[in-house]
Amino acid sequence: MSDFSNIEIQDLDEQQALSELKRLAEEIARHDKLYFQKDDPEISDSDYDALRQRNLAIEGKFPDLVLDASPSKRVGAAPVDGFEKAAHAVPMLSLGNAFSREDVEDFSSRVRRFLSLDDDAPLPIVAEPKIDGLSISLTYSNGEFVRAATRGDGRVGEDVTHNIMTIAEIPKQIAGNVPELFDIRGEVYMGHDDFVALNEQNEKTGQKTFANPRNAAAGSLRQLDPSITAKRPLKFFAYSLGDAQVLGVKHHSDVLAQFDAWGFPVNPLTKVCRSVDELMEHYEHIALNRSDLGYDIDGVVYKVDDLALQERLGFVSRAPRWAVAHKFEAEKAVTQLEAIEIQVGRTGALTPVAKLTPVTVGGVVVSNASLHNEDEIARKDVRVGDYVVVQRAGDVIPQIVEVLLDKRAEKSEPFILPDVCPACGSPAERAVDPDTNRQDVVRRCTGGFICPAQAVERLKHFVSRNAFDIEGMGEKQIELFYGLEWVKTPVDIFSLEARDGDRLTSLKNMDGWGEKSVSKLWDAINERRTIGLDRFIYALGIRHVGATTASDLARFYGEAERWLQAMVDAGDEENSAFDDLKNIDGIGGVVARSLTHYFNEKRNLEQVQALFEVVTVEPVEFEEVASSVSNQTVVFTGKLELMSRAEAKAQAERLGAKVAGSVSAKTNIVVAGPGAGSKLKKAEELGVKVLTEQEWLDLID
């Protein structure tokens, strides 16, 4: 997969942004599973946060490219086996991140713009320490504690009620006038002293020791035997209500005050601030005293205090617009670059990776760093033998921030990326976009099907979480089956079971396998013989077609056969099918040509047709929304005076409308404010219904 992670976001073009968003989505999903399901992260929080920060920043610049599988649209990872699943009445969403004063100012400005608030209008914001623990939702019925669930994927978590019952700080009964049914959200954590004592005890008895207090808290809470959890010194801070409206109060600070009155621990460093200066002052105060708190925090959370404004601001996918987490700065270290290796990705991209003398950065040993592409290597003049500054905050594979030129050897030579693929020997070229005449920043192998590196990566993508999501068929299994020549194409996956008895060695007799594990794999494959059209399209791994684009295509064409025929017809750019494809909101010429190029290759078309024979691709089901504008395509143009453009778009989408960026014959409504120009003119020419902003508000009221 292409790696553009060292290119400044403002320098990314649309193709690079798409590729980068896909790469980020896959990497973040993998680390979510390690963190949320296995309590065994392999990267630091700062590393992880930097991934999400870059993803959000790219989505901010390229809003039409947001993937359906974007990390900004999901939280955590699916529940693990061993606990009952527990659905959240109100999703447990995560937070966007800030890393500097400028980011905090941007957060404040975004909120004000969305709400159309003047710079001097009051906007109280609550600042509270971000506890590094395990998020929990506690459900109370008529004041009695009845259930506890982990965050899970944000919508469904693990039922850990019996284990939560062992935590003394959590009230099991709330007296007085309480709502009939409500959820309290908070963080389960372990203090430093308790963590050290637990590890010392475990070491003495030969049991597992934990890497940090967060892992200790998560591991303790996920014990299948509650008696083990009861022996662990877990603590709790409450920080929000699932639905704050049930209390009938007006401010988040009022909610916290009610928690305190009910007997829930509320962090004493929580403070209502009335300016960015106050927020930064409190942030610095908390950071200064961080080491003396007795528990881990990894930043400060800012939340708009007014609950009515929170309601108006709403959410962007996985995160609220009214809150942000201001994280602490990542660490850096100096080490030597020993070699540069070339990796070949799914789309043939040649990615250089620095092999480093191992160095500890933020408590984790680093031995690799991304060099991204040949232009970045040339720009930074990175050479083998250089001493470099490494920062674990820009990628899963850490970034090289700068080269220490004063330590460079006299005979060092610039690194030249090979012009042949190291995996198959085919020419590696930098393509030129015919529309812009710009050269692609990435050099790609032209071997296609004959390149083993591309084939394996394509298969890994096909079975990945946001594609066919076949449990038990991960990277290692794909590499094994490909190496044995059992799986060369996606279709081969669905005949594995039928062909197993024909081989000299059955899978169950191979090292690491047995009857039970093989049976589970066959079941997992068979469970995925029915799939939605959007996931099917995404699974094909077509360049520039991420989950969002796949969803857009699925919604536009509705059925698999109709979509496939349209892709074939669009191969002729003179055919109206190409215009239909190119004009889909969020598609455009680059993506359209990528799709037609894929299906102009006969083997790709045959592969998709063969997949249709072994899987059932379900048509898109459109959710019925009780609204006068549901399923209508709306375009906003000109200056909106009664609400911001962002709020208008969010409101329309909540009502089931589709907001487009351009006017076409398929547009149903154009909302035109003062200064409307070419879009209004085109709407009038096409006879599209045109409304003023007030008429629009009257329509949706």
Q: Which residue ranges form the domains of the chain, and what is each CATH number?
A: 9-61 (1.10.287.610), 85-327 (3.30.470.30), 463-493+495-528 (1.10.150.20), 532-618 (1.10.150.20), 633-700 (3.40.50.10190)
**Residue 130 known to be catalytic:** yes
User: What are the helix (H) ranges across 65-127?
Assistant: 101-115
Distance of CA 133 to the CA centre of its chain: 20
Tokens of 410: 């006299």
| Inter-residue contact 183 to 242 (CB < 8 Å) | yes
pLDDT at 487: 92
pLDDT at 317: 61
| Inter-residue contact 337 to 328 (CB < 8 Å) | no
Of 448, 428, 435, 434, which is closest to residue 374 (Cα–Cα)? 428
Mean pLDDT rounded to a whole number for the chain: 85
Name residue 134's beta-bridge partners: 188
Tokens of 80: 């693990």
* Category of 507 on φ-ψ map: left (φ > 0), alpha (ψ -120 to 50) or beta: alpha
Q: What is the spatial distance between Cα 547 and Cα 283, in angstroms, rounded to a whole number?
A: 37
pLDDT at 491: 93
Q: What is the spatial distance between Cα 24 and Cα 26, in angstroms, rounded to a whole number?
A: 6
**Tell me: the pLDDT tens digits for 555-566?**
788 899 999 999
pLDDT at 395: 38
Name residue 387's beta-bridge partners: 336
Residue pointed to by tokens 């160095």: 359
Q: What is the spatial distance between Cα 323 and Cα 93, in angstroms, rounded to a whole number?
A: 11
What's the one-letter identity of residue 57? A
Name residue 691's beta-bridge partners: 671
CA end-to-end span of the chain: 46
Of 596, 582, 529, 584, which is closest to residue 551 (Cα–Cα)? 584
For 105, residues 6+ apart whose C-beta sits below 8 A from its C-beta are 276
Q: What is the spatial distance between Cα 445 and Cα 443, in angstroms, rounded to a whole number?
A: 7
Distances (CA, A) of 122 to 245, 249, 321, 523: 22, 19, 17, 58
Is the overall model pTM greater than 0.85, yes or no? no
| Inter-residue contact 439 to 409 (CB < 8 Å) | no
Q: Phi and psi dihedrals of 42, rounded to 5?
A: -110, 0
Q: Phi and psi dihedrals of 340, rounded to 5?
A: -125, 120
Q: What is the spatial distance between Cα 536 and Cα 554, in angstroms, rounded to a whole number?
A: 9
Q: What is the spatial distance between Cα 124 and Cα 108, in angstroms, rounded to a whole number?
A: 10
Q: What is the spatial distance between Cα 468 and Cα 319, in angstroms, rounded to a whole number?
A: 26
Q: What is the spatial distance between Cα 333 and Cα 237, in angstroms, rounded to a whole number?
A: 34
Q: Phi and psi dihedrals of 22, rounded to 5?
A: -65, -45
**Tell me: the pLDDT tens digits for 166-198?**
898 999 999 888 888 899 999 999 999 998 899
Q: What is the spatial distance between Cα 562 and Cα 566, in angstroms, rounded to a whole number?
A: 6
What's the one-letter identity of residue 508? K
Q: What is the spatial distance between Cα 491 and Cα 397, in angstroms, rounded to a whole number?
A: 32
Name residue 360's beta-bridge partners: 365
**Tell me: the pLDDT tens digits for 37-66?**
555 666 766 667 778 778 878 887 787 787
Report, in this order, helix, strand and coil percent for the chain, each rounded to 5.
Answer: 40, 20, 40
Q: What is the spatial distance between Cα 35 and Cα 40, in angstroms, rounded to a whole number?
A: 6
Residue pointed to by tokens 């600042």: 127
Which of 22, 73, 130, 327 is labelled catalytic? 130
Tokens of 602: 């006969």
Distances (CA, A) of 201 to 506, 575, 596: 45, 73, 63
Tokens of 495: 């005949």
Q: How many CA atoms lie within 13 A of 205 on its CB side?
A: 9
Neighbours of 138 (CB within 10 A): 23
Tokens of 568: 């074939």
For the chain, which ranges sit under pLDDT 50? 76-81, 394-396
Q: What is the spatial distance between Cα 101 and Cα 244, in angstroms, rounded to a whole number?
A: 29
Q: What is the spatial distance between Cα 160 and Cα 84, in angstroms, rounded to a whole number?
A: 8
Strand 669-672 to 633-637 pairing: parallel
E-strand spans in 109-243? 125-131, 134-141, 144-150, 156-158, 181-189, 235-241
Of 392, 352, 389, 355, which is closest to residue 372 (Cα–Cα)? 352
**DSSP H helix total and E strand total for the chain:** 25, 26
Q: What is the spatial distance between Cα 197 and Cα 160, in angstroms, rounded to a whole number?
A: 24
pLDDT at 626: 58
| Inter-residue contact 158 to 80 (CB < 8 Å) | yes
Secondary structure in 3-state letters for 280-339: HHHHHHHHHCHHHCCCCEEEEEEEECEHHHHHHHCEECCEECCEEEEECCCCEEEEEEEE
Q: What is the spatial distance between Cα 693 and Cα 642, in angstroms, rounded to a whole number?
A: 7
